[in-house]
Structure 1
Amino acid sequence: MSQNYQNHKRFYPLFHFFTIPLTVVGLGLAIYAYVAIPTIITGLIVLAFFLIAIVAVMARMFALKAQDRAARAEEKLRYFILTGKSLPADLKLGQILALRFASDEEFLALVDRAVTEKLSADDIKKSIKNWRGDYHRI
């Protein structure tokens, strides 16, 4: 299926629909057990589930940050290849990440519009006519 504005947001089923819900349910049950039977063991179980939840969320955040850095580097290189100049420094990360969906034909014009009109990432995505899918991001 080709990507477009309506379907470009991605979910990683194992994380979004399994790991997080199971961790939340486990944390809820652990808190219930601690309230019902307040012992050191049930307290440690609550702590363990809380730490698991934090680690799961942090792992996702770290993966997204790494992907953001790679995408930013790719778009800087793409702009340099097309223009021989550095990507304008006024662009925010969200704008750069949105620009990755633009085809080469509309990329430069969208960069200029993003800088001059201060387009939001969502506005940039909505302005793209020839969508270039990003199938590697999870």
Structure 2
Amino acid sequence: MDSQNYKNHRKFYTPHHFIFLPLLIILEGIGVYNIWNDPENQLLWILFSIIIFLIFYLSIMLRQHYSLGLQNRIIILEFKQRYFEIFKVRSDEVEEKLRFSQIAALRFAYDDEFKILLERALKENISGNQIKKSIIRWKADNHRI
């Protein structure tokens, strides 16, 4: 497996992103095409297109909502645990000063960079994206959803 870095840290789920969703897009295209080119069954094609669109929308929103919501909670718990292991104190005050994007970005840094980037995030309020770009040696997260 390639080592993880800023350019390759995003993850795709092949059946969902490259089979199911493209198939729905194709079906939606067929439905819209036939709305204009099959006037005898236009109402049927409108209904077909609406149903396909709703399936498409729901499949994206539900998958994202549940999996990302759970993942975000786990990321915050990992931050709290890691902060405690490094500094031997609770992270409540520090966590309140950080945005979730900053907390999420810090998980890619090893402990030595974590300390430095955490301090920069608190003092300079750098974004999560800036934190990711500042990481020299990435700590891979290969178990993300």
TM-score normalised by the chain length of structure 1: 0.89
The yes-or-no answer on 1:127 pairing with 2:134 is yes
Q: Which has the higher helix share?
A: 2
Aligned with 1:111 (options 114, 118, 130): 118
| Counterpart code for 2:106 | L
Aligned with 2:83 (options 75, 79, 89): 79
Unaligned runs of 5+ in 1: none
Larger mean Cα displacement after TM superposition, 128-137 or 79-88: 79-88
CA contact (8 A) 2:35 2:46 kept: yes
What is the rounded CA distance, in whole Å, between the counterparts of 1:124 and 1:69 in structure 2? 20
What is the rounded CA distance, in whole Å, between the counterparts of 2:81 and 2:119 in structure 1? 16
What is the rounded CA distance, in whole Å, between the counterparts of 2:46 and 2:129 in structure 1? 44
What is the rounded CA distance, in whole Å, between the counterparts of 1:125 and 1:113 in structure 2? 12
Seq. identity, % = 41
1:1-138 alignment, distance < 5 Å: 1=1, 2-36=3-37, 37=39, 38-62=41-65, 63-83=67-87, 84-87=89-92, 88=94, 89-138=96-145
The two structures, once aligned, show a CA RMSD in angstroms of 1.7
CA contact (8 A) 2:80 2:90 kept: no
Moved over 6 A (4+): none
* Cα displacement (A) at 1:29: 1.0
Distance 1:85 1:47, change over 3 A: same
* Cα displacement (A) at 1:80: 2.1
What is the rounded CA distance, in whole Å, between the counterparts of 2:11 and 2:138 in structure 1? 16
TM-score normalised by the chain length of structure 2: 0.85
CA contact (8 A) 2:4 2:139 kept: yes
* Cα displacement (A) at 1:131: 1.3
Aligned residues: 138
CA contact (8 A) 1:79 1:108 kept: no
Unaligned runs of 5+ in 2: none
What is the rounded CA distance, in whole Å, between the counterparts of 2:130 and 2:91 in structure 1? 23
